[in-house]
């Protein structure tokens, strides 16, 4: 069939292209309005901002032909932004009109009872009644969502009842997870990032004859009601710190409190060498196959290189995105850079390169600290120039993670310094009993301390438009002593965006503990997975035993 993919110029479409190739289908990219006439089947994927998507389509003369294509009755499959553009408008960008095929607006999630964006693996409830025997989506599976805006499910509203094919619950809100009517099928989640369940959905849709894709058998739809608890699962993230070793090979390494060099010689003479725990792409594929809900690749020596010349890391992302169909966050060096020949690149260009290579989110580290320092010097008024602001404007805030590297600063009980309101005291009976401390931000992988607290940082980056916090702890990194629960609670109480707890995991029980004692949405580990001391399945089994939602493979 004449399958075309529409790339509106922002957002990661590479993953979808890779998954379609993996499923053995050929496709062409839409490059001109004329391609809509040639297309017999069209997929419009995309993560990003509503306004950017509409403006790109408009400026390339694709908006009207896209509407005509959909109205012509030929099969259309929209993903995320490809679903949202079908609606009349989005409160993400008041004044920007959508295609208006579904006559009601997309609006922001209510953040009063939950973190926004909605990020992670959630279940769907299919509304076809009676169920179709060969529905492309699968009610027993979890799919990966990443969005701040959603079409509310409101069965009293005719258009909602008519279009909503499945719903998902986040907090107490039910929203439209997929729409299906005549030739249109569109999903709010990302099948290309939803592991085997997502590939199966794509495969089933692509495997249907065009006639069937254009003419859905009539079904009535049941009315969904919110349940007592939503289906969003706790995410388990595997993190790979990547750098070149002394032989010039790109390896996954792992520090103890950020020191990645071997200490003891033991049998081999390796003292001082960069710890080598494997090859990045091979490890990424292994973790995805083992059930990791998300992968994180951090280029930990980026501050010494220009990322645009850092071809090995880009090559890693390109190769990993061909093998891995779960979300991929790339960090290290996301900032304005200058090539050795003097060519300047903005952080937005750097991020764009990684998104096009296959990253779903970028993680900003040192640059986020500098941006918040500037923000505070400017009376907490964002000026639109920081990496966080420019990237989130184009790709959406859900694509911007801020990686935080805090370190404890112990103080006397009577401490009266500038961070006194953020001082944490050790709990009675704990190893830190009788101690008090605050958390200081660092840059360049912990090498330099800044006069900024972790609370000031996370509040600042939320204001600038970050979508998620990756919360490391230099004190706990590589220790296996468990997550720093005081730090995680401090940060969770300071922001409304999701938080990934990181550093210190040593046992499956540490994951249960972090989800029982804090509201973090995800937990990340590195060392225990690299050294194969604990498997991802063991972690998930421990969470299941504590009655927590986790994604099955």
Binding site for ligand 1PR (CB under 6 A): 239, 241, 254-255, 258, 260, 298, 300, 302-303, 331-334, 363-367, 403, 405, 445, 472, 477-478, 502-505, 524-527
Catalytic entry in 373, 405, 477, 486: 405
Least CB distance to ligand 1PR at residue 405 (A): 5
Nearer to ligand 1PR, 125 or 535 (CB): 535
Closest distance of CB 257 from ligand 1PR, Å:
8
Shortest approach of ligand 1PR to residue 366 CB, angstroms? 3
- Measured from the CB atom, the residue of 302 and 321 that comes closer to ligand 1PR is 302
Q: Which of 92, 241, 310, 389 is catalytic?
A: 241
241 is catalytic: yes
How far apart (Å, rounded) are the C-alpha atoms in residues 486 and 481?
Answer: 14
- List, as own/partner pairs, every contact residues 430-436 make where C-beta atoms lie below 8 angstroms and the sequence separation is at least 24, other chains included: 435/410, 436/410, 436/411, 436/412
Check if 190 is active-site: yes
- Residue nearer to ligand 1PR on the CB measure, 194 or 337: 337
* Among candidate residues 484, 551, 553, 474, the one with its CA nearest the CA of residue 520: 484
The reply, when asked if residue 18 is annotated as ligand binding, is no
Tell me if residue 192 is catalytic.
yes
**Helix intervals (H) in 378-484:** 387-395, 454-464
Beta strands in 384-536 (DSSP E): 400-404, 406-411, 424-425, 436-443, 448-453, 468-471, 499-502, 522-525
80 is catalytic: yes
User: What is the DSSP pairing of strand 436-443 with strand 424-425?
Assistant: antiparallel
195 belongs to an annotated ligand binding site: no
> Which residues have C-beta within 8 Å of that of residue 216, sequence separation ≥ 6?
180, 181, 182
- The catalytic position among 118, 147, 190, 230 is 190
Dihedral angle, C-alpha 125, 130, 132, 136, nearest 10 ° = -10
Nearer to ligand 1PR (CB atom), residue 204 or residue 450: 450
CB of 351 to ligand 1PR, least distance (A): 11
Of 119, 14, 5, 10, the closest CA to residue 359 belongs to 14
Instruction: Say which of 192, 310, 360, 484 is annotated catalytic.
Output: 192
* Residue 333 annotated as part of some ligand binding site: yes
Residue nearest to ligand 1PR (CB): 445
Residue 167, both tokens: 């719903």
Residue in this structure with the two tokens 């210190």, named with its chain if needed = 504
Active-site option among 80, 239, 296, 441:
80
Shortest spacing between CB 333 and ligand 1PR, in angstroms: 5
Whichever of 54 and 402 has its CB closer to ligand 1PR, that residue is 402
Return the closest-CA partner of residue 252 out of 299, 306, 189, 291.
Answer: 299
Instruction: Count CA atoms closer than 13 A to 161's CA, side-chain side.
Output: 10
Residue positions forming the annotated binding site for L-glutamine = 80
Residue positions forming the annotated binding site for substrate = 333, 472
Catalytic residues: 80, 190, 192, 241, 405
Residue positions forming the annotated binding site = 80, 333, 472
């Amino acid at each position: 069939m004449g399958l075309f993919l529409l790339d509106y110029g922002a957002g990661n479409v590479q993953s979808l292209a890779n998954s379609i190739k993996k499923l053995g289908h050929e496709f062409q990219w839409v490059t001109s309005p004329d391609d809509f006439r040639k297309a017999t089947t069209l997929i419009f994927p995309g993560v990003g901002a509503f306004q950017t998507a509409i403006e790109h389509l408009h400026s390339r003369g694709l908006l009207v032909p896209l509407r005509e294509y959909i109205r012509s009755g030929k099969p259309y499959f929209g993903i995320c932004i490809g679903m949202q553009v079908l609606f009349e408008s989005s409160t993400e960008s008041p004044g920007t009109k959508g295609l208006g095929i579904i006559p009601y607006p997309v609006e922001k999630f209510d953040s009063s009872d939950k973190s926004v964006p909605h990020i992670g693996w959630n279940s769907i409830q299919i509304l076809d009644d009676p169920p179709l025997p060969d529905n492309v989506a699968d009610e027993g599976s979890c799919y990966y969502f990443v969005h701040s805006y959603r079409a509310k499910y409101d069965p009293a509203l005719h258009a909602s009842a008519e279009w909503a094919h499945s719903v998902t619950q986040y907090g107490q809100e039910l929203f439209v997870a997929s729409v299906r009517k005549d030739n249109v099928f569109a999903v709010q989640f990302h099948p290309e990032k939803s592991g085997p369940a997502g590939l199966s959905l794509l495969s089933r849709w692509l495997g249907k004859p065009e006639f069937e894709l254009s003419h859905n058998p009539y079904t009535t739809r049941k009315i969904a009601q919110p349940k007592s608890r939503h289906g969003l699962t706790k995410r388990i993230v595997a993190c790979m710190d990547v750098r070149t070793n002394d032989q010039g090979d790109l390896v996954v390494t792992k520090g103890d409190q950020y020191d990645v060099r071997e200490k003891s010689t033991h049998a081999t003479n390796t003292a001082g060498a960069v710890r080598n725990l494997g090859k990045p792409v091979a490890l990424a594929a292994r973790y995805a196959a083992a059930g990791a809900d998300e992968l994180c690749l951090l280029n930990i020596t980026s501050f010494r290189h220009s990322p645009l010349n850092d071809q090995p890391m880009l090559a890693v992302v390109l190769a990993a995105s061909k093998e891995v169909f779960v979300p991929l966050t790339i960090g290290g060096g996301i900032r304005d850079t200058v090539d050795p020949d003097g060519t300047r690149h903005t952080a937005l260009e750097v991020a764009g390169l990684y998104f096009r290579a296959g990253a779903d989110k970028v993680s900003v580290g040192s640059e986020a600290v500098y941006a918040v320092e500037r923000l505070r010097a400017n009376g907490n008024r964002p000026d639109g120039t920081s990496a966080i602001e420019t990237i989130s404007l184009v790709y959406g805030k859900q694509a911007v993670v801020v990686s935080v590297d805090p370190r404890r600063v112990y103080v006397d009980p009577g401490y009266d310094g500038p961070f006194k309101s953020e001082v944490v005291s050790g709990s009675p009976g704990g190893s830190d009993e009788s101690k008090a401390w605050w958390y200081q931000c660092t840059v360049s992988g912990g090498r330099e301390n800044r006069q900024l607290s972790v609370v000031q940082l996370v509040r600042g980056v939320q204001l600038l438009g970050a979508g998620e916090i990756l919360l490391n702890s230099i004190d706990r990194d590589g220790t296996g002593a468990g997550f720093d629960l005081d730090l995680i609670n401090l940060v969770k109480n300071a922001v409304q965006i999701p938080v990934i707890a990181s550093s210190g995991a040593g046992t499956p029980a540490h994951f249960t503990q972090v989800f029982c004692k804090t509201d973090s949405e995800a937990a990340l580990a590195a060392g225990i997975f690299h050294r194969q001391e604990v498997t991802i399945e063991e972690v998930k089994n421990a969470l299941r035993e504590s009655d927590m939602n986790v994604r099955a493979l």
